[in-house]
Amino acid sequence: VQPDVSTELRHCDECAIAYAAELIRAGQTVAVPTETVYGLAADARNSDAVARIYAAKGRPSFNPLIVHVADVPMAAKLAEMNDMAERLAKAFWPGPLTLVLPVRAEAGLSPLVMAGLPTVAIRCAAHPAMRALIEASGAPLAAPSANRSGAISPTRAEHVLRSLGGRIPLVLDGGQTARGIESTIASPAADHIRLLRPGPITTEMLARASGLPVVVSGSDHGIEAPGQMESHYAPSKPVRLNVLSAEREEYLIGFGAVSGDISLSEAGDLDEAAAALFAALHIADASSAERIAVAPIPMEGVGLAINDRLRRAAA
Ligand code: TXA
Ligand code: MG
């Protein structure tokens, strides 16, 4: 990575997408919005390009990347889509579900993407910018969240600039992301679905669509995506959870009846809270308070994913 590359911010219209696709074809990285969080994209077949993602993020090389595709046929060229994978893709693609599947030998993906695993994580995002970039570049796009490794995920272009400015050539600005929390990661087996990372597609939704039990292996601490390290999404300040009223020097992120300095959702709506979560953490981190406190969030539906991210932010 050139340490002093100047980062361009462009509203993601057709012209910016065409320019972004040119950069991708030239082996560069581009930050692009998805409906979950902004991703840092590069051609997943090009090892130099994929290495630029790891370098810009400061990401450990053992932490594999998600590959973004346009549709099921493109996914089937890269990974073995078994019947259950087809069924889940039909139910939730395009959308915030990533499937971990056996990689095909003839996929042509850079080995850096899988980081030594026999599987690849495949996602078909719903956001028009990501979809347009895949089409315009003609490439499967490796794209982790567009933040420095271990930091809070970006839900706005400004977050990307703050984290990766000077390290990547282009950020496509699509405003605030709709879902605000990273995709659910699941691995379909013959008789169960393994949940590797909770997200917007809830356990209940996976169970209903598959007709199979959803297994979160090893209880609440055993989620197994290699990048799901305990400390992640880390603000620079200490974070205290399940707080009903703030102590002095604390910036309180509220929810429902707990109002706080800012609220994830005054109405107590979990989808609204997920969409607001990372932006609130960014604001709390930039505030003058010394510490961050967060109101209790119910452990149901997408609340599971919100609590997962909060636990890591506090770890
Ligand atoms: O919503 C999202 O998924 C966003 C947007 C940009 O698509 N991407 C994202 O990527 O969250 P990232 O790299 O921040 O998180 C991907 C997670 C990591 O924890 C990684 O370890 C895991 O996916 N992962 C990737 N390949 C895997 C594999 N073959 N098996 C298990 N986990 C895998
Ligand atoms: Mg990430």
Specify whether 48 is located in the same domain as 159.
Answer: yes
Specify whether 14 is located in the same domain as 142.
Answer: yes
Specify whether 28 is located in the same domain as 163.
Answer: yes
* ipTM exceeding 0.95, yes/no: yes
Atom number, ligand 1, closest to the C-alpha of residue 98 = 3
Closest ligand to C-alpha of residue 53 is 1
Atom number, ligand 1, closest to the C-alpha of residue 181 = 1
The one-digit pLDDT tens for each residue of the chain (315 residues) are: 555 789 999 999 999 999 999 999 999 999 999 999 999 999 999 999 999 999 999 999 999 999 999 999 999 999 999 999 999 999 999 999 999 999 999 999 999 999 999 999 999 999 999 999 999 999 999 999 999 999 999 999 999 999 999 999 999 999 999 999 999 999 999 999 999 999 999 999 999 999 999 998 654 444 566 766 667 778 889 999 999 999 999 999 999 999 999 999 999 999 999 999 999 999 999 999 999 999 999 999 999 999 999 999 998
Specify whether 43 is located in the same domain as 135.
Answer: yes
Q: Which domain holds residue 245?
A: 239-314
Atom number, ligand 1, closest to the C-alpha of residue 65 = 25
- The finding on whether 141 has its CB within 6 A of some atom of ligand 1 is no
Specify whether 19 is located in the same domain as 148.
Answer: yes
Neighbours of 113 (CB within 10 A): 24
Tokens 């960014």 belong to residue:
282
Q: Whose CA is closest to atom 32 on ligand 1?
A: 225
> For the chain, what is the domain count?
2
Specify whether 37 is located in the same domain as 169.
Answer: yes
The Å distance, Cα 244 to ligand 1 centre, comes to: 33
Q: Which of 173, 197, 229 is the last residue of a domain?
A: 173
Closest ligand to C-alpha of residue 149 is 2
The Å distance, Cα 214 to ligand 2 centre, comes to: 23
Answer yes or no: is 293 within a domain.
yes
